[in-house]
């Protein structure tokens, strides 16, 4: 069966294993992932029919693995027995193999139809697998694996004896694994065979969120599930942040350990989901959310969505935020500006605070409480300049009223008057400079009609000889407007701290 490209344009509800009806919506595809999924489906279906296959789906944290796996699951399950496992939700269990096998069997059983009884042999084998552990954990695992029925209840004395026996006996573990592999295979056959031709080989077992687990658990999970990887007609897909996982492996096996080749041994192939730029991501998010932002009271004025794209991209790129964090900052920003009433907000500073709060809470506290010095002269405390230089500089287009906001005349320090050489327009500005001016203006009380020495020097220089300004000089043209915005730190802090509750 060869698939045409999936249509992932519209949002859908996630109703896979572990879902609560209507509680999670998978948004429309903003990253053109549908074609990757089509390609992978065709490729893996062909590979997996004949043999087993293990694919590592790699992308950094927040780049869209979970979204991809869930959306893909919704397609795959129509044509193949498909299992979805959230490794993170299982992280509390101390036996990854047990967790995985019981979940796989549980789901395959549902696919094949609930009415099929668990074969007697399999129950024994599964029970034989359980690692030495607390009795309660063992009972919970037995329950989860669905091994109870009218002939075998966890409440009876018989079960207590069995649990006792299992707790002291693990030598059959290896044999049990071999046996269970066959059983998984049989459940897959059951699912295909009982589906009246709707389902075909291979079965897909998608394991997600390994990157969110404790490192030791993630590694143990890999080490143990490799024992069941080689089941004919079964394709395993493991989503990981591979670089981070390699890190975890080095923590366990030591720095000199070749984590890359070690990981390579588990997988036939690695497939990396490329991430798109934050700009594209934000652009798409704005289109999807159909926002009405013309009336919000912020600077720069949101005359069209590009203004918002420019500001958000500059700040999120500055901090190299993941797409997940970018989306969070985006949502929180919108939520706080949309109902805001008061003195015009500095949108750039607000987005900056949201992002900083995600990136480094200590620095955020220092800035939001006004405890971080503006300059770097303090013997102990980090200055704001140092903070902004720890992250990437960004340049972006911004509309500055360099004519109308500043006025027709400029007075120099000797009260000599010059006509203003600058005009209103789009200027390329520096994020670091905007932030420095903003942060500085929170502490100095600059009177309304005064211009800074820096600005006057620039203006008088340009009166003599108009020239192209540097990006930093462009930013100076915004000083006046910046000084007229909301300057109470408390206002920004309150907005940020209200919206961070939005997850």
Ligand X SMILES: Nc1ncnc2c1ncn2[C@@H]1O[C@H](COP(=O)(O)OP(=O)(O)O)[C@@H](O)[C@H]1O
Q: Which range touches ligand X (CB under 6 A), out of 60-68, 168-176, 185-193, 255-263?
A: 60-68
CB of 112 to ligand X, least distance (A): 29
- The entry of ligand X, Mg ion, none that residue 33 binds, CB within 5 to 8 Å by partner kind: ligand X
> Residue 488 burial by CB count (10 A; 0-12/13-18/19+): exposed, middle or buried?
exposed
Q: Please list, in sequence order, all residues whose beta carbon lies within 8 angstroms of the beta carbon of residue 304, skipping any fewer than 6 positions away.
A: none
The distance of closest approach from Cβ of residue 499 to ligand X in the complex, given in angstroms and rounded to an integer, is 16
Q: Which is nearer to ligand X, 31 or 459 (CB)?
A: 31
3-state class (DSSP) for residue 15 = coil
Helix (H, G, I), strand (E, B) or coil at 197: coil
Residue nearest ligand X, Cβ-based? 64
* Binding partner of 29, given ligand X, Mg ion, none, CB within 5-8 angstroms per partner class: ligand X
Residue 266 interacts with which of ligand X, Mg ion, none, CB < 5 to 8 Å by class: none
Task: Assess contact for 500 and 357: CB atoms under 8 A.
Answer: yes
Task: Decide: is 62 part of the binding site for ligand X (CB under 6 A).
Answer: yes
Judged by CB under 6 A, the residue of 37, 44, 55, 64 near ligand X is 64
Helix runs in 194-322, H state only: 215-225, 242-253, 259-264, 278-289, 305-318
Shortest spacing between CB 339 and ligand X, in angstroms: 23
Q: Residue 153: how many CB atoms within 10 A of its CB? A: 10
Question: By beta-carbon distance, which residue lies closest to Mg ion?
Answer: 66
Q: Which part of the chain contacts ligand X (CB under 6 A), choosing from 54-62, 130-138, 299-307, 398-406?
A: 54-62
How does DSSP classify residue 119? P
Rounded distance between C-alpha atoms, residue 324 and residue 336, angstroms:
19
Q: Is 86 in the site for ligand X (CB under 6 A)?
A: no
Among 14, 36, 53, 67, binds ligand X (CB under 6 A): 67
Supply the angle between the helices 157-167 and 135-144 in degrees, to the nearest 10: 110
Among 58, 66, 93, 433, binds ligand X (CB under 6 A): 66
Q: Is 383 helix (H, G, I), strand (E, B) or coil?
A: coil
Number of residues that bind ligand X (CB under 6 A): 16
Residue 135 exposure: Cα atoms within 13 Å on the Cβ side: 9
**Which residue in the block uniquely carries the two structure tokens 């404790």?**
214
Partner touching 327 among Mg ion, ligand X, none, CB below 5 to 8 Å by kind: ligand X
Instruction: Draw the binding track, 23-42, toward ligand X (x: CB under 6 A; -: no contact).
Output: ----x-xxx-x---------
97 CB-contact burial (10 Å; exposed 0-12 / middle 13-18 / buried 19+):
buried
Using CB under 6 A as the binding rule, whether residue 332 contacts ligand X is answered as no
Looking at residues 35 to 74 of the shown chain, list those that interact with Mg ion (rule: CB under 5 A). Answer: 65-66
Let me know: does 282 contact 330? Beta carbons within 8 Å: yes
Closer residue to ligand X (CB): 11 or 425:
11
Site for ligand X in 91-150 (CB under 6 A): none
Q: Which residues bind Mg ion (CB under 5 A)?
A: 65-66
Q: Which residues bind ligand X (CB under 6 A)?
A: 27, 29-31, 33, 59, 61-67, 323-324, 327
């Amino acid at each position: 069966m060869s698939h045409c490209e999936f249509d992932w344009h519209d949002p859908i509800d996630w109703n896979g294993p572990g879902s609560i009806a209507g509680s999670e919506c998978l948004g429309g595809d903003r990253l053109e992932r549908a074609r990757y999924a089509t390609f992978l489906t065709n490729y893996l279906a062909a590979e997996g029919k004949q043999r087993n296959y293990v694919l590592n789906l790699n992308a950094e944290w927040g780049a869209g693995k979970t979204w991809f796996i869930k959306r893909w699951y919704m397609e795959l399950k129509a044509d193949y027995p498909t299992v979805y496992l959230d490794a993170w939700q299982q992280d509390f269990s101390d036996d990854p193999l047990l967790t995985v096998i019981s979940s796989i069997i549980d789901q395959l059983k549902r696919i094949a139809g609930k009415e099929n009884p668990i074969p007697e042999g399999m129950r024994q084998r599964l029970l034989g697998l359980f690692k030495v552990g607390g009795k309660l954990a063992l009972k919970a695992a037995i329950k989860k694996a669905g091994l109870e029925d009218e002939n075998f209840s966890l409440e009876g004395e018989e079960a207590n004896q069995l649990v006792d026996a299992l707790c002291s006996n693990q030598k059959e573990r290896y044999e049990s694994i071999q046996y269970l592999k066959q059983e998984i295979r049989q459940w897959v056959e059951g699912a295909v065979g009982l589906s009246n031709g709707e389902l075909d080989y291979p079965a897909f077992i998608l394991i997600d969120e390994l990157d969110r687990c404790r490192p030791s658990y993630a590694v143990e999970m890999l080490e143990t599930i490799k024992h069941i990887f080689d089941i004919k007609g079964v394709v395993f897909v493991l989503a990981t942040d591979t670089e981070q996982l390699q890190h975890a492996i080095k923590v366990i096996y030591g720095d000199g350990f070749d984590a890359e080749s070690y990981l390579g041994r588990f997988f036939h192939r690695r497939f990396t989901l490329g991430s798109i730029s934050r700009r594209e991501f934000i652009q798409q998010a704005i289109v999807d959310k159909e926002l009405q932002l013309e009336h919000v009271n912020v600077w720069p004025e949101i005359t069209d969505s590009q203004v918002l794209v420019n500001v958000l991209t500059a700040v999120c790129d500055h901090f190299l935020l993941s797409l997940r964090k970018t989306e969070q900052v985006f949502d929180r920003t919108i939520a706080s500006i949309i109902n805001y009433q008061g003195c015009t907000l500095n949108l750039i500073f607000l987005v900056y605070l949201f992002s900083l709060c995600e990136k480094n809470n200590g620095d955020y506290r220092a800035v939001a409480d006004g405890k971080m010095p503006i300059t770097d002269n303090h013997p102990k405390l980090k200055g704001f300049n140092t903070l902004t230089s720890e992250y990437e500089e960004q340049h972006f287009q911004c509309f500055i009223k360099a004519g109308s906001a500043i006025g027709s005349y400029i007075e120099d320090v000797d009260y000599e008057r010059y006509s203003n050489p600058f005009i209103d327009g789009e200027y390329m500005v520096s994020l670091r400079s905007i932030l420095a001016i903003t942060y500085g203006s929170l502490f100095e009380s600059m009177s309304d009609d005064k211009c800074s020495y820096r600005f006057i020097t620039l203006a008088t220089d340009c009166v003599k000889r108009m020239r192209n300004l540097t990006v930093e000089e462009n930013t100076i043209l915004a000083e006046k407007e910046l000084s007229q915005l909301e300057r109470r730190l408390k206002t920004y802090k309150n907005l940020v701290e209200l919206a961070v509750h939005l997850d």
